[in-house]
Amino acid sequence: MTPETRSKRQRWVIVAGLFFFLAINFADKALIGLAAEPIMRELGLTHTQFGRIAASFFTFFSISALLVGLLANRVKARWLMLAMAITWSISQVPLLVFATPLTLIVSRVLLGASEGPAYPVAVHALYKWFPDHERAVPSAVLTIGASFGAGLIAPVITGVIVHFGWHAAFVMLAVAGMIWSVIWLRIGKEGPLGTRAGHGSHGVGDADSLRAHPSALALPHKIPLGALLLSRTCIGSDLSGFAAYVILTMSTIWLPSYLVRVAGYSLTEVGWIVVLPAFGQMVVSPLFSWWSQRLMARGVSSRHARGTLGAAAVVASGAALAVMPQLPAGPLLIVAVTIAFSLASFTFVSGVMLAGEIVPPAQRGGVLGINICMTTLAGFVTPAVMGQVIDHAAAHVDGYRTGMMLAGVFSIVAGVIAACLIDPASDRRRFAALGRATQDTCLAQPLASGEQ
């Protein structure tokens, strides 16, 4: 086996490890929603109280995504992911000893703090193995892993809840996290791209990336952080990602209860229904990623092939979410649920690819962490707001419907604005000019000193 063949096989082993890393991560997120009804009954919680407990997951979620994302610029991603997986497994332990609202909050806070950086660090690790023009498919595989955890194993989780109780479901996922940690300790490796030895002074990972994006040749090794975060592409991607995370949070926290309370399905039926959006995500992410890559190969700008396509997916999901409350239980409602909670997932793929275009590798981990910090604030706000809307409505059923409709309308507006803002080519030109200006200044200073 040649070194090149060995490297190609190794990088897909890493993709498989990252797939299950995110699958367990998102299963942990989905569990609280699937167990919402038995948890509220056993602990005597109102919808507002449950919403606050669910939101506690995001107390340090965003800030840890930011801090660990910045740390990923200095510490190997494989060790960061191992630490996260061990921590989120241990965080389930308090519920085995004493299940109260307080211990549930403590568990969710610790779980959120350890899971917050998971996606940006996983993407950062992935991009060390694949140059820009090859990232669409493996990025989609990561999103499929998240979808697999969030929905496809929902029947397993609900089966455990129904037959053994919601405590047992938490134990199951804690054990899964520890098993993954043992395997990752053996297979986890750092990729060759974007390391100090692996990238040039222009911040591009390898020769293939240079050929794929000639305009990236002029990018400086580092760009002022403020300029990156306030770029049109970052702001637009953050807005689109925030809306997509509103939809994701509604799916993981409130959709199971909505289907039970409003549509009248049993918990077992709900476990099978939520498989459909997960399956939809597993189809949409690679399909849209392939479409995006195909468009770019035909000369369509990444602004439209990635940015507009991702924003359009958010708009379509928002429209389906806004329509859902008007539909009775049955096939049309299930179709709306599938569309609403599947299409927007592509914006997570398009967002990281857009960031990869304008952010030098030396800053990528930090910027991805900051972007995730911004978008996942939706997870902190959405559960609590939805709980308030439900409890203050004339009837709980009306509150569920109003909350879903408001989330849908917000997503439509956010997606439209994001499509207008995203423009990576314009941002690259601006950063290239900034790099040239900085270089000219550095060259002029020694000359001025010599003349003196």
Between 401 and 374, name the one with better pLDDT: 401
> Considering the chain, what percentage of its residues have pLDDT values greater than 70?
88
Q: How confident is the model at residue 212 (pLDDT cuts 50, 70, 90)?
A: very low
Tokens of 301: 């700008």
| Res 98: pLDDT | 75
Tokens of 176: 């899964």
Distance, in Å, from the CA atom of 183 to the CA atom of 189, rounded to the nearest integer, reads 12
Q: How confident is the model at residue 110 (pLDDT cuts 50, 70, 90)?
A: confident
Q: With beta carbons less than 8 A apart as the criterion, state whether 247 and 344 touch.
A: yes
Distance, in Å, from the CA atom of 310 to the CA atom of 101, rounded to the nearest integer, reads 38
Q: With beta carbons less than 8 A apart as the criterion, state whether 159 and 271 touch.
A: yes
Degrees, nearest 5: CA angle 310-115-84: 130
Between 200 and 95, name the one with better pLDDT: 95
> Considering the chain, what percentage of its residues have pLDDT values greater than 90?
24
SS3 letters across 182-234: HHHHHHCCCCCCCCCCCCCCCCCCCHHHHHHCHHHHHCCCCCCHHHHHCCHHH
Residue 221, pLDDT > 80, answer no
| Res 324: pLDDT | 94
Per-residue CA distances from 273 to 130, 150, 246 (Å): 35, 12, 20
Widest Cα–Cα separation across the chain: 84
pLDDT tens digits for range 396-447? 899 999 999 999 999 999 999 999 999 988 888 888 777 666 555 554 555 4
| Res 210: pLDDT | 39
Per-residue CA distances from 397 to 47, 55, 262, 394 (Å): 12, 21, 6, 9
Average of pLDDT values for 35-60? Answer: 84
Return the sign of the alpha-carbon dihedral for residues 19, 22, 28, 32.
Answer: negative
Q: How confident is the model at residue 42 (pLDDT cuts 50, 70, 90)?
A: confident
Degrees, nearest 5: CA angle 128-134-140: 90
Q: With beta carbons less than 8 A apart as the criterion, state whether 243 and 319 touch.
A: no
| Res 209: pLDDT | 41
Average of pLDDT values for 331-354? Answer: 90
139, with CB counted inside 10 A (0-12, 13-18, 19+), is buried
Residue 205, pLDDT > 60, answer no
Per-residue CA distances from 347 to 214, 235, 238, 239, 421 (Å): 25, 13, 10, 10, 14
Average of pLDDT values for 57-63? Answer: 79
Each domain of the chain, given as residue ranges in start order, spans 7-192+219-437
Return the sign of the alpha-carbon dihedral for residues 440, 441, 443, 448.
Answer: positive
CATH number belonging to domain 7-192+219-437: 1.20.1250.20
Distance, in Å, from the CA atom of 441 to the CA atom of 396, rounded to the nearest integer, reads 64
Range 57-70 burial, b when 16+ CB lie within 10 A, else e: bbbbbbbbbbbbbb
| Res 198: pLDDT | 38
| Res 240: pLDDT | 94
Provide the residue type at 411 as one letter.
S
Distance, in Å, from the CA atom of 177 to the CA atom of 139, rounded to the nearest integer, reads 22
